[in-house]
């Protein structure tokens, strides 16, 4: 939807997320859809106005970067980096190693014998191409999955099957070599709630991080993806607070990397009621997270409801399959919603120590 230019900037300059974030030592960001960046000038201006860090939603994954086993395609990633550089905005890299978004040729081409070479070559080529331009790389994404049954609680991903758990060490060591300037980050979901599943995922993640530290594997930061839910039966509190304190004690920075609010569980349809519940979910979450001094960045996974990943993909598991989610800070006309002001207030409240 195209809005009149002036309407989309109701909160430019001093009212922007990034100015309120910057005032409190924080980076405020969002995941970017590169196709929109090229085609929608309102979207591009909101990105330029509101954020001081950006990450490619898909453009720096293997599926986007690697059209063939012997080819790299940097055009999309370069479009984000040059846009960001022209607006003095930092860029996160996402991601070097993941079990999803692997190109179609991967499974038929990569074997136990050549997997390490593919991993090292990819990280050296991509990390080298963007050397000095990346604030932080999600070196390994989502390596934890206790229900896969491994004693170490790690996911039986293609990389694990091909290389064993050392793939993680190899990835981080190679990333440090490829770009010594980037903060090397381990990124994970499902560590936010006070429930048994998230508690186990937190414990497994900490165990992995401790093993890495004791093996002198270079790592600087941990991403808490923060895909949270409005109306969740579970609380967010002590478990996350203790997890973040443990990360701080290990000398790790903390980034909120993919924040959004899934509202599928809300039992009512009224938009104002839903927007209020979503805003309060953001406010409550950030009051806990921003009380942790090691948290240095908050990125939402997208900008407007018209492009949230939550409204794409299969709907069979959704309670409200016909109700587009209002998960993000801007509506589909790029107007700021109650959630925008809830996040901006959360940045302000951090400074005064008010929770
Ligand atoms: O670009 C192709 C298009 O050419 C093709 O016609 C179309 C139909 O198959 O697919 C398009 O690619 C899709 C891509 O998004 C771009 O829209 C992929 O199918 C689709 O799987 C991909 O989904 C992304 C997903 O990660 C998997 O990579 C979502 O947009 C993205 O929001 C989501 O983000 C992940 C984070 O990277 C990691 N944490 C969880 C988060 C949510 O799942």
Using the predicted structure, report yes or no on whether residue 42 has a pLDDT greater than 70.
yes
Exposed, middle or buried: residue 88 (CB in 10 Å: 0-12, 13-18, 19+)?
A: exposed
Helix intervals (H) in the chain: 17-22, 34-39, 41-50, 62-65, 75-86, 106-109, 115-129, 158-163, 166-178, 196-214, 238-249, 271-289, 338-352
Residue nearest to atom 28 of ligand 1 (CA): 101
Using the predicted structure, report yes or no on whether residue 78 has a pLDDT greater than 90.
yes
Task: Please pick, among 19, 49, 57, 142, the residue that the annotation labels catalytic.
Answer: 142
The Å distance, Cα 25 to ligand 1 centre, comes to: 31
- Rounded Cα distance between 73 and 152, Å, is 35
Q: In this predicted model, what pLDDT tens digit does every residue of 22-39 receive, in sequence order?
A: 999 999 999 999 999 999
Task: Please pick, among 57, 188, 192, 258, the residue that the annotation labels catalytic.
Answer: 258
The Å distance, Cα 58 to ligand 1 centre, comes to: 6
Query: What is the per-residue DSSP string for 167-197?
Result: HHHHHHHHHHHH-TTSEEEEEESS-SSSSHH
Catalytic residue check, 192: no
Regarding the beta carbon of 258 and ligand 1, being less than 6 Å apart is answered yes
- Rounded Cα distance between 348 and 256, Å, is 17
Catalytic residue check, 258: yes
Q: In this predicted model, what pLDDT tens digit does every residue of 96-150 receive, in sequence order?
A: 999 999 999 999 999 999 999 999 999 999 999 999 999 999 999 999 999 999 9
Identify the band that residue 351 occupies on the pLDDT scale cut at 50, 70 and 90. low
The Å distance, Cα 49 to ligand 1 centre, comes to: 26
Q: Do strands 183-188 and 90-97 pair parallel, antiparallel, or not at all (unpaired)?
A: unpaired
Average pLDDT taken over every residue of the chain: 95
156 secondary structure, DSSP code: -
pLDDT score, position 3: 42
Q: In this predicted model, what pLDDT tens digit does every residue of 240-272 receive, in sequence order?
A: 999 999 999 999 999 999 999 999 999 999 999
pLDDT score, position 167: 98
The residue that leads in pLDDT, 205 or 6, is 205
Using the predicted structure, report yes or no on whether residue 2 has a pLDDT greater than 50.
no
- Cα 224 to chain centroid distance, Å, stands at 7
């Amino acid at each position: 939807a195209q809005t009149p230019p002036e309407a989309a900037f109701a909160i430019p300059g001093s009212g922007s997320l990034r100015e309120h974030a910057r005032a409190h030592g924080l980076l405020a960001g969002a995941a970017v859809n590169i196709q929109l960046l090229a085609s929608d000038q309102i979207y591009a201006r909101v990105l330029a106005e509101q954020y001081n860090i950006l990450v490619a939603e898909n453009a720096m994954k293997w599926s986007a970067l690697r059209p063939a086993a012997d080819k790299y395609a940097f055009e999309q990633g370069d479009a984000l980096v040059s846009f960001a550089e022209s607006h003095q905005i930092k860029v996160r890299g996402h991601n070097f190693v993941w079990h999803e978004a692997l190109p179609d040729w991967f499974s038929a081409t990569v074997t136990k014998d050549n997997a390490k070479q593919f991993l090292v070559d990819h990280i050296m080529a991509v990390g080298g191409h963007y050397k000095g331009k990346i604030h932080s790389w999600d070196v390994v994404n989502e390596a934890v999955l206790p229900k896969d049954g491994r004693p170490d609680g790690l996911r039986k991903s293609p990389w694990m099957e091909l290389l064993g758990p050392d793939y993680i060490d190899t990835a981080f060591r190679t990333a440090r070599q490829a770009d010594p300037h980037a903060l090397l980050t381990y990124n994970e979901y499902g560590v936010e709630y006070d429930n048994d599943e998230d508690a186990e995922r937190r414990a497994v993640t900490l165990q992995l991080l401790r093993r890495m530290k004791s093996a002198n594997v270079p790592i600087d930061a941990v991403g808490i993806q923060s895909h949270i839910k409005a109306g969740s039966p579970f609380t967010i509190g002590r478990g996350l607070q203790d997890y973040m304190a443990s990360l701080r004690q290990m000398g790790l920075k903390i980034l909120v990397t993919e924040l959004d609010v899934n509202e599928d569980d809300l039992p009512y349809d009224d938009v104002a009621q839903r927007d209020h519940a979503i805003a309060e979910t953001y406010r409550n979450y950030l009051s806990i997270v921003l009380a942790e001094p090691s948290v240095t960045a908050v990125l939402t996974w997208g900008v407007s409801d018209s492009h949230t990943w939550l409204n794409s993909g299969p709907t069979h598991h959704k309670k409200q399959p016909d109700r587009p989610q209002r998960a993000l800070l801007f509506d589909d006309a790029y107007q700021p919603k109650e959630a925008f002001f809830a996040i901006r207030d959360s940045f302000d409240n951090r400074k005064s120590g008010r929770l």
